[in-house]
Structure 1
Amino acid sequence: MGSFGYARVSTVDQNAVLQHAALHAAGCRRIFTDHVVSGTRASRPELDKMLEHLRDGDEVVVWKLDRLGRNTRNLLALIDDLEHRGVHFRSVT
């Protein structure tokens, strides 16, 4: 069982330093980060990699809810999928 973080920055001006610091402080042993990827894009390679990596009993941690989902419906579907797979979800803020 592990705690895995997911970070996303959607513009060139942003960086993931604050997200990474918060995720490390939350105990994440590995952080998957998508760079300059809009939340509305269907494909987020690092998120996809993390989702494939997760196992029953793992935990996904994000800095803020808007880093995970493209919209409310997508966010709820992702969290529902995690729950059905036995993966816990936590948002730091």
Structure 2
Amino acid sequence: MKKTCSAQPTAVSAPLAEARARNRAGIIACIERAIAQGELPVTTDTKALAAMFDSFLLGLTALARDEIPHAVMDASVTQVMAVWDALSATTAR
């Protein structure tokens, strides 16, 4: 049995979990496409990289709700995308 932090009704939690799963699948597809096109190395840990971007995006929405300044969030996007750039720089084109 899966344990949760609260007794959220399935009517609320299930659609949200499905939406998050679709987002993760989209991120994974993007990473796999980049690997296939030679933009990222074949040694890229697809699931780990997708989890990093997914968790970043989920956190970014919380920051927006907390009214963190746009400039701070924009700079954080630049920082997290540096991971992609660093991985991309290791591939031979």
TM-score normalized by structure 2?
A: 0.31
Is the strand fraction higher in 1 or 2?
Answer: 1
Q: Which has the higher helix share?
A: 2
Q: Which has the larger radius of gyration?
A: 2
